[in-house]
């Protein structure tokens, strides 16, 4: 079925798309060939700057269905009625690799979920791990610099990675997780997701609760060994993206059971771990998982660039009844994510189809700028106004958090059982002997590449502080490899 003639970007029909205009047969090309100029100029600009982190990814649309009434904890309307469905878009990603990197690598996986709610978009930006390497966003650029290519060698350097990790002992928990069996998922479908941070829920009565989100894969956990991942990366670098797309194409829709941990706000101050520390989990014995819904992915994007590369997620995108916590990593991300999108995609990135609200309409006074589509027409661009423009509601989206004390560069407060090693040690002791052996093997293979002995010793020392057996076995394995 014909779609009509090929045209220029301005809509004029194209007479010849095979041959550029020249000054006679075999002569030089003419500047007046505007089709040629337009095509080359557009081609040069087909790629926007890739994400500095989470560059390599895949995404799909889906549906979130509420299975439990949670109105006692939050007034968010998309969480208000059992059976209610909300359209979603989920982007998976690796963290450190660039856009052309392989999927099957040892790296955390991004789990960024956009809910297109009737009160605007709610973005839940997490990972496939419940914790992270650092607890303060001021360290994030330094951390990522150690994971990326060294400015001199052009390669990732083990010395840089382990120098930073060993000097940042709060990373011990996440590193133990990353180098364990779940460090390389077999596919995006076969891994759990986490909101990772602590978030605030507020109900209609104004009561505040702290929550953590968990997405439990209904496909079951499947992982790759290091050797399997190396082979797969060479044979099919796009393995995860391909698996996700093909599973949806054949109607095998991946799904996750959505659960939350809920802490009354009054309990936060005396909880044994700082509940806003991203390097810590809340043990399920303290705050059990409560099932609230089902997430299913059931539609592939039609254009990867438009819907995956240009998709943007920001943890600052909240809806009434949901808000941030004092988590210092989250606080930094509230700014950093939106700022990255404004630089990378443009100031009007929220207007793109994948990013704009689907169940309501955005009504702002922002105008013009790159990608502006003129949607406001002649409407006034200020508030308040007497021309029927949108007005403020006077009701904050989330509850106030009490603060006290002097301003300053304060460390994250320690609670009764807080240190940088206790939960890493607990995780190690939960593993089977085979799992411990693989963890030690994975870690030792990387640490053995470190050139400076003092960095290697410092790295091993952090794991020894988590568990004596852990450190002892790791030290022996590194020495054996160095020998």
Task: Spell out the alpha helix ranges (H) of 94-249.
Answer: 140-147, 158-167, 172-178, 226-235, 239-249
Spatial separation of the C-alpha atoms in residues 279 and 414, rounded to whole Å: 12
Side-chain half-sphere exposure of 152, counting CA atoms within 13 A: 2
54 catalytic per annotation: yes
Q: Which of 19, 42, 121, 127 is catalytic?
A: 127
Backbone angles phi, psi at 192, to 5 degrees: -80, 165
Burial class of 272 by CB neighbour count within 10 A (0 to 12, 13 to 18, 19+): middle
Spatial separation of the C-alpha atoms in residues 257 and 397, rounded to whole Å: 26
Strand partners, 242: none
Q: Are the C-beta atoms of residues 128 and 194 closer than 8 Å to each other?
A: yes
Peptide bond into 384 cis (omega under 30): yes
Q: Which of 42, 44, 54, 160 is catalytic?
A: 54
127 catalytic per annotation: yes
Spatial separation of the C-alpha atoms in residues 346 and 354, rounded to whole Å: 14
What are 107's two structure tokens?
Answer: 């790296």
Q: Are the C-beta atoms of residues 213 and 195 closer than 8 Å to each other?
A: yes
Sign of CA dihedral 414, 325, 332, 62: positive
Spatial separation of the C-alpha atoms in residues 104 and 229, rounded to whole Å: 5
Spatial separation of the C-alpha atoms in residues 86 and 310, rounded to whole Å: 21
CB atoms within 10 A of CB 342: 16
How many helices (H) and strands (E) would you count in the chain? 12, 10
Spatial separation of the C-alpha atoms in residues 317 and 356, rounded to whole Å: 12
Q: Which residues are catalytic?
A: 54, 127
């Amino acid at each position: 079925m014909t779609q009509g003639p090929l045209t220029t970007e301005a809509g004029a029909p194209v007479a010849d798309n095979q041959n550029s205009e020249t000054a006679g047969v075999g002569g030089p090309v003419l500047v007046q060939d505007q089709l040629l100029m337009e095509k080359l100029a557009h081609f040069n600009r087909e790629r926007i700057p890739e994400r500095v982190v989470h560059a390599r990814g895949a995404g799909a649309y889906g549906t979130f269905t509420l299975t439990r009434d949670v109105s006692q904890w939050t007034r968010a309307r998309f969480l208000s009625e059992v059976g209610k469905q909300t359209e979603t878009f989920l982007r998976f990603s690796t963290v450190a690799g660039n856009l052309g990197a392989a999927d099957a690598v040892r790296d955390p996986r991004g789990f960024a979920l956009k809910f297109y709610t009737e009160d605007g978009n709610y973005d839940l930006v997490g990972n496939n791990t419940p914790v992270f390497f650092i607890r303060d966003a001021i360290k994030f650029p330094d951390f990522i610099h150690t994971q990326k290519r060294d400015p001199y060698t052009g390669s990732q350097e083990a010395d840089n990675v382990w120098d930073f990790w060993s000097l940042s002992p709060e990373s011990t928990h996440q590193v133990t997780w990353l180098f364990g069996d779940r460090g390389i998922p077999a596919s995006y479908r076969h891994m759990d997701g986490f909101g990772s941070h602590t978030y605030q829920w507020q109900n209609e009565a104004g009561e505040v609760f702290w929550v953590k989100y968990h997405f439990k894969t209904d496909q079951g956990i499947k992982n790759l060994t290091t050797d399997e991942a190396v082979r797969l990366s060479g044979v099919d670098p796009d393995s995860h993206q391909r698996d996700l797309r093909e599973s949806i194409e054949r109607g095998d829709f991946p799904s996750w059971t959505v659960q939350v941990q809920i802490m009354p706000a009054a309990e936060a101050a005396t909880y044994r771990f700082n509940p806003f520390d991203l390097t810590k989990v809340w043990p399920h014995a303290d705050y059990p998982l409560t099932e609230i819904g089902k997430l299913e992915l059931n539609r592939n994007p039609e254009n990867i660039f438009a819907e995956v590369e240009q998709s943007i997620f920001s943890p600052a995108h909240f809806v009434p009844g949901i808000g941030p916590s004092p988590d210092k990593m989250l606080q930094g991300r509230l700014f950093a994510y939106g700022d990255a999108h404004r630089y990378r995609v443009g100031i009007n990135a929220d207007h793109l189809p994948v990013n704009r609200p689907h169940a309501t309409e955005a009504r702002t006074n922002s105008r013009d700028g790159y990608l502006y589509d003129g949607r406001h027409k002649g409407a006034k661009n200020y508030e308040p106004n007497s021309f029927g423009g949108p007005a403020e509601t006077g009701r904050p989206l989330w509850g106030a958090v009490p603060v006290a004390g002097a301003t300053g560069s304060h460390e994250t407060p320690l609670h009764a059982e807080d240190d940088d090693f206790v939960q890493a040690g607990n995780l190690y002791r939960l593993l089977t002997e085979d799992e411990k052996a693989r963890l030690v093997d994975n870690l030792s293979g990387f640490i053995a590449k470190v050139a400076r002995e003092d960095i290697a010793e410092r790295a091993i020392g952090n794991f020894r502080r988590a568990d004596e057996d852990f450190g002892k076995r790791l030290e022996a394995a590194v020495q054996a490899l160095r020998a």
